[in-house]
């Protein structure tokens, strides 16, 4: 009976978390609708709000395929940030690690013509290396990982752009399209594209591959590592209290670096999923902005309150409304409206602790009274014991 009660407490926690996230989403959507009304009241409902809500389903199955293709890398960058959060680090460098991952994947595909899983591995390794650098700085010199990873975002971006572009004659650069070579249309690169097992036919797209399933598998693996293993126990202990971890004989420096390596590897893997699916090609001329996928990862992680499984759902949701936003008629609304809504939702996530408290109060108010009584009962027993 005791066990039953304990597991219920854990379940309550998850339920409250999900409800709080849903509340954030609901209020965010409402605010979005108000903005739509303000911009163009006549079309706000059917041409605006409903299209965003429908997301990919507005133009099914093509839209759904597109949504899934975009969700896969988003799951990974979200996991990257969430994993770091769980281990006490803020990985704002997911964008840079993603950039390096993209380079690793594309180099192995276009130059070395390697099979897709090797390219994916290369992306993971490159991302991991780029994550390791801030990790080393943090572990040995106690330099805040936020500062180093922001700088390494830009270092990575310019480095990759410089190599890819190569003054217009880089081997990976297709000067006609001002992007890297299209993997599907370039001789020798076909084997580097992640297989789709008929998903492209199903969704009538050309970039829906098994990437989303790979991302989901990785999310489950990360959840297992964090929750079920001694390695995850150590990582979280270091994140929550570095000194206590050290006291317990855990090598905190090694664990900080490993955390960042894994976070980086996850982001790099995400880039591999994106570019090896051929969703788009790398544009080295777009040198002033980091890939948005990296920063959206932060939103995804926040919305999921850093739960690896929750990351899958929040990434799919963010991808859903982003695709929905792209279906908005530009006659009436800018496509950025979807970003605006997801922005509001993320902003509200900051209040999620408040929502959690309120929801818990509403749902479990009766039970809390019981608990207080239970506490009161122990006191007389304690007195008795001392009396003896």
- Which of 184, 185, 228, 367 forms a contact with other proteins (CB under 8 A)? 228
DSSP 8-state symbol, 207: S
Beta bridge partners, 173, equal 180
Q: Is 371 in the site for other proteins (CB under 8 A)?
A: yes
DSSP 8-state symbol, 286: -
- Structure tokens given for 195: 């297989």
The CA-based dihedral angle spanning residues 169, 109, 69, 100, taken in that order and rounded to the nearest 10 degrees:
-70
Minimum CB–partner distance for residue 246 and other proteins (Å): 7
Q: Is 6 in the site for other proteins (CB under 8 A)?
A: yes
Closer Cβ to other proteins, 241 or 283, answer by number: 241
Minimum CB–partner distance for residue 386 and other proteins (Å): 7
Using an 8 Å Cβ cutoff, are 88 and 240 in contact? yes
- Write down the residue that tokens 């009766």 correspond to: 366
The CA-based dihedral angle spanning residues 283, 285, 287, 288, taken in that order and rounded to the nearest 10 degrees:
-100
Closer Cβ to other proteins, 9 or 350, answer by number: 9
Distance CA 11, CA 191 (A): 45
End-to-end CA distance of the chain: 30
Q: Is 229 in the site for other proteins (CB under 8 A)?
A: yes
- Structure tokens given for 49: 């709000």
Minimum CB–partner distance for residue 254 and other proteins (Å): 12
Q: Is 368 in the site for other proteins (CB under 8 A)?
A: no
Minimum CB–partner distance for residue 241 and other proteins (Å): 5
Q: Is 382 in the site for other proteins (CB under 8 A)?
A: yes
For residue 46, give every residue at least 6 positions away whose Cβ sits within 8 Å of its Cβ, in sequence order, or none.
Answer: none
Residue 117 burial (10 A CB sphere; 0-12, 13-18, 19+): middle
Q: Measuring CA to CA, how many Å separate 134 from each of 140, 172, 347?
A: 10, 28, 27
Closer Cβ to other proteins, 54 or 242, answer by number: 242
Q: Is 377 in the site for other proteins (CB under 8 A)?
A: no
Taking alpha carbons only, the member of 44, 80, 39, 55 closest to residue 306 is 80
Q: Name which of residues 68 to 97 contact other proteins (CB under 8 A).
A: none
Closer Cβ to other proteins, 202 or 248, answer by number: 248
Minimum CB–partner distance for residue 385 and other proteins (Å): 8
3-state SS class at 173: strand
- Which of 4, 169, 373, 386 forms a contact with other proteins (CB under 8 A)? 386
DSSP 8-state symbol, 182: P
Closer Cβ to other proteins, 330 or 378, answer by number: 378
Q: Is 230 in the site for other proteins (CB under 8 A)?
A: yes
Q: Is 14 in the site for other proteins (CB under 8 A)?
A: no
Options 5-13, 35-43, 172-180, 201-209: segment touching other proteins (CB under 8 A): 5-13
For residue 32, give every residue at least 6 positions away whose Cβ sits within 8 Å of its Cβ, in sequence order, or none.
Answer: 49, 52, 337, 340, 341, 344
Q: Is 237 in the site for other proteins (CB under 8 A)?
A: yes
Minimum CB–partner distance for residue 81 and other proteins (Å): 19
Count the residues of the shown chain that bind other proteins, applying the rule CB under 8 A: 27
Closer Cβ to other proteins, 223 or 274, answer by number: 223
From residue 238 to residue 267, the character string flagging contacts with other proteins as x (rule: CB under 8 A) and all else as - is --xx-xxxxxxxx-----------------
- Which of 1, 10, 330, 376 forms a contact with other proteins (CB under 8 A)? 10
Report residue 350: phi and psi, to 5°. -60, -25
Site residues (vs other proteins, CB under 8 A) = 2, 6, 9-10, 228-231, 233, 236-237, 240-241, 243-250, 371, 375, 378, 382, 385-386
């Amino acid at each position: 009976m005791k066990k039953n009660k304990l597991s219920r407490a854990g379940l309550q926690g998850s339920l409250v978390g999900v409800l709080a996230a849903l509340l954030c989403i609901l209020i965010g959507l409402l605010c979005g609708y108000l903005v739509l009304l303000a911009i163009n009241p006549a079309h706000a409902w059917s041409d605006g709000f409903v299209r965003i809500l429908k997301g990919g389903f507005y133009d099914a199955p093509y839209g759904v395929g597109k949504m899934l293709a975009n969700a896969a890398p988003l799951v990974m960058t979200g996991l990257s940030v969430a994993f770091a959060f769980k281990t006490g680090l803020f990985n704002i460098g997911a964008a840079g690690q993603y950039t390096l991952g993209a380079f690793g994947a594309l180099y192995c595909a276009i130059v070395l013509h390697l099979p897709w899983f090797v390219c994916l591995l290369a992306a993971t390794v490159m991302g991991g290396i780029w994550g390791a650098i801030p990790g080393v700085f943090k572990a040995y010199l106690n330099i805040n990982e936020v500062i180093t990873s922001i700088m390494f975002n830009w270092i990575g971006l310019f480095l990759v752009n410089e190599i890819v572009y190569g003054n217009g004659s880089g081997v990976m650069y297709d000067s006609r399209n001002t992007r890297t070579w299209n993997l599907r249309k370039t001789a020798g690169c076909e084997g580097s594209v992640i297989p789709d097992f008929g998903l492209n036919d199903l969704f009538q797209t050309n970039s829906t591959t098994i990437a989303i399933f790979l991302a989901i598998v990785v999310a489950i693996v990360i959840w297992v590592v964090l929750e079920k293993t001694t390695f995850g126990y150590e990582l979280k202990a270091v994140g929550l209290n570095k000194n206590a971890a050290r006291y317990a004989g855990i090598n905190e420096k090694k664990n900080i670096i490993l955390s960042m390596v894994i976070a980086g590897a996850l982001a790099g893997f995400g880039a591999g999923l994106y570019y090896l699916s051929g969703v788009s090609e790398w544009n080295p001329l777009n040198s002033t902005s980091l890939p948005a996928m990296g920063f959206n990862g932060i939103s995804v992680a926040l919305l999921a309150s850093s739960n690896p499984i929750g990351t899958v759902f929040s990434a799919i949701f963010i991808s859903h409304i982003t695709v929905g936003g792209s279906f908005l008629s530009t006659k009436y609304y800018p496509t950025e409206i979807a970003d605006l809504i997801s922005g509001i939702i993320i902003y509200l996530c900051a209040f999620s602790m408040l929502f959690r408290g309120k929801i818990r109060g509403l749902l479990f108010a009766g039970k809390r009274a019981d608990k207080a009584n239970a506490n009161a009962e122990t006191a007389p027993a304690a007195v008795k014991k001392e009396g003896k």
